[in-house]
Amino acid sequence: MVIAERLEQAEARFAGGAFAKGTISRDGILDHMEASEMHSNSSEGEESEPLPRSLREKPAKSDRTDKKYVKNDKRTKAKNGDQSLDAKKKTKEPDEISKRVLSRSEKYQRGFKPQKDEEPGKVRSKKSQPKLDHARKRREAAIVDAARSEVLLAESAGFLEAEGMERTYRFTQKQLAENLDISSAGKIFDLKLNEFGPYVLDYTANGKYMLVGGRKGHLATMDWRSGKLGCEFHVRETIRDVSWLHNEGLFAVAQKKFAYIYDSTGAEVHCLQKHVEPTKLGFLPYHFLLASTGMTGSLVYQDVTEGKVAGEHRPGYGQCHVLKVNPYNAVVHMGHGNGTVTMWSPKQSQPLAKMLCHKGPVQAMAIDHSGTYMATSGLDGRLKVWDIRNFKSLHEYITMRPAQSIDISQRGLLAAGWGPNVSVWKDALATQVYEPYMKRLLPSTTISDLHFVPYDDVLGYAHSNGISSIVVPGAGEPNFDAYVANPYQTKKQRQEQEVKGLLDKLAPETIQLDPNFIGKLDPRTQTQLAREQLERERAAYLQNKAEGKYLDNEVKNKMKGRNSTAKRYARKRQSNVMDLKKLQEMERMERELQEKEAKRRKVPEEEKGALNKFYTEKRQTR
């Protein structure tokens, strides 16, 4: 933790300014490693110098003479020892550990390249040179500490390996439990909950706590490793989905009418009435946004720290039951009933991208942690893997029944629950595989939800009869970063992490398909931009001129209706033009009027009655 903290401090202090561009050399890293070793050895054997008798009094003569002799002695030793140190550096070769540190230190240099003016000895200002040297040494020290920290990460991911004619998917959980240690074997369990199912579940970011919710209103939180129950209650209402928020202190529940937020004791904290009839929930941990979709088909973002609605969109594809958050760029993916997957950002009214993934409704979706691959399952019985970078389909798998839930582990394992079956594929994202890595059958049940446990080789899945957990070797990341998610975090660490997360909270406007786009600068000058704009306008003018948009009879600001500008202009131009077609039309209209007048019955004088003086015969006037 100290090593990572030193690295972060060095990055934060020197990454933004001119100090970040100091030279990082192989010799400098080796010098720092040797200096740290010499300092640790010398600190054990040397004794501290005598201090003066008080702060106000001057040191005694004996002390001053001793110090002079000590200083002179050190100077002479330094002069005599420079040549020997240089000789040692020339003859001494780095040992195996130093070679490993050097090989790993390249990725921690962050790609900074020093400029010519900032190299040692080439700075004009004498005051800036010591600062640059100090920054360079600090950066070298941080690189060495970060590279050395990898030596402590001794854990490695291991998978099941079959011998001969054996197949890994034939291994049962009972056989695995017999060959596992006690703590790992205890992670295989089944909770029979037949009354309030089917269930849905969710795990915290560090994988320590589990949240379960039954369709008929049962809610419970627990530390699933130790079996310690957090809270358990019944809401007496339909529950469609559950989701943890930033930590185990708060969780959201999609109930029949609205979405609700509860604390760790089960007390209701908020009723989110903007989330009408929600069916699926998703949480953005770095933005503190709760996203939901429901029967209305709309997507709603709500800031859980301020209570404000950050965005609301209406895709227009009907009710939606599939929603996933991309952990790489925080873009929300929605699966619709017409087989389309749309990608949304809270501050943009139109989707960032649309993909036609299936010929039928989308049933489930999963996105890997790198944001590269997306897996979707549809009602057509296909399970497809997509490359989000270029929006292309890589390969597809066929399931006997449409997969109701899918998930991707931290190590790239793909799990799917279809009917009573749970299948796990290894290396199924980048390549096409033809047999599963592991599988399990639960007779007389239907899989409703499944999730891999972060930082653990465990897969938890919910079904109509309760909750189950199985061991999947190689699923979780063995080495965790305590600054991101700490499975062993204490109460004080949780509080500190919550405060730091609120201070580092990102704005909703930062959510884009390419998160690296933020902060880019346009290298073009104003002259180049003006020249390009002029060229575009000239090309548009030539194109419009070729299409005939700049003729003399063109009338701008057109209006709809009979008295529009274009209609009046056309009538004005055609009023004095007499051609054969117009004369024939005028004769036809006059003939029709005469025939209509002849057919009309004339009223005799005797039939007009007492109101004769008020009666006037209609005459056709032109």
The pLDDT of residue 114: 52
The pLDDT of residue 608: 59
Helix, strand, coil in percent for the chain, rounding step 5: 30, 25, 45
- Cα angle 379-454-208, degrees, rounded to a multiple of 5: 120
The pLDDT of residue 309: 94
Specify the amino acid at residue 536.
R
Taking residues 248-275, report their average pLDDT.
Answer: 94
CATH 3.30.450.40 fits 168-501, yes or no: no
The pLDDT of residue 122: 64
Q: Is the pLDDT of residue 565 over 80?
A: no
% of the chain at pLDDT higher than 90: 48
Neighbours of 416 (CB within 10 A): 27
Lowest mean pLDDT among 116-130, 225-239, 330-344, 418-432: 116-130
% of the chain at pLDDT higher than 70: 72
Closest Cα to residue 355, out of 371, 375, 381?
A: 375
Taking residues 526-534, report their average pLDDT.
Answer: 91
Confidence of residue 393 (pLDDT cuts 50, 70, 90): very high
Question: In which order are the strands placed within the sheet that holds 392-398?
Answer: 362-367, 373-378, 382-387, 392-398
Q: If you search the block for the tokens 């989330």, which residue do you land on?
A: 275
Q: Is the pLDDT of residue 6 over 70?
A: no
Lowest mean pLDDT among 47-51, 267-271, 470-474, 566-570: 47-51
Q: Is the pLDDT of residue 65 over 90?
A: no
Q: Is the pLDDT of residue 556 over 60?
A: no
Taking residues 219-231, report their average pLDDT.
Answer: 93
Distances (CA, A) of 251 to 28, 200, 201, 262, 284: 50, 13, 12, 6, 13
Q: Are 297 and 316 in contact (CB under 8 A)?
A: yes
Q: Positive or negative CA dihedral for 273, 279, 282, 283?
A: positive
β-pairing, 289-294 with 278-284? antiparallel
Count Cβ atoms within 10 A of the Cβ of residue 253 and give its class: 0-12 exposed, 13-18 middle, 19 or more buried: buried
Lowest mean pLDDT among 271-285, 384-398, 474-488: 474-488
The pLDDT of residue 575: 62
What distance in Å separates the CA atoms of residue 323 and residue 331, rounded to the nearest whole number?
A: 11
The pLDDT of residue 20: 36
Q: Is the pLDDT of residue 160 over 90?
A: no
Cis peptide bond upstream of 198, omega within 30: yes
Q: What is the DSSP letter of 411?
A: T
Confidence of residue 125 (pLDDT cuts 50, 70, 90): confident
What distance in Å separates the CA atoms of residue 469 and residue 187, rounded to the nearest whole number?
A: 7
How many alpha carbons fall within 13 Å on the CB side of residue 73? Answer: 6
Domain ranges in the chain are: 45-118+129-153, 168-501, 526-552
Taking residues 611-619, report their average pLDDT.
Answer: 52
Q: Is the pLDDT of residue 90 over 70?
A: no
Taking residues 226-234, report their average pLDDT.
Answer: 93
Strand partners, 252: 243, 261
Q: How many residues does the chain have?
A: 622
Give SS3 for 430.
Answer: coil
Q: How would you label 568-593 residue by residue, b for 16+ Cβ within 10 Å and e otherwise?
A: eeeeeeeeeeeeeeeeeeeeeeeeee
Q: Is the pLDDT of residue 336 over 80?
A: yes
Distances (CA, A) of 395 to 240, 375, 392, 428, 430: 31, 10, 9, 9, 9
Over the stretch 495-514, which tens digit does the pLDDT of each residue have? 999 999 999 999 999 899 98
* Cα 577 → chain centroid: 69
Confidence of residue 483 (pLDDT cuts 50, 70, 90): confident
Q: Is the pLDDT of residue 85 over 60?
A: no
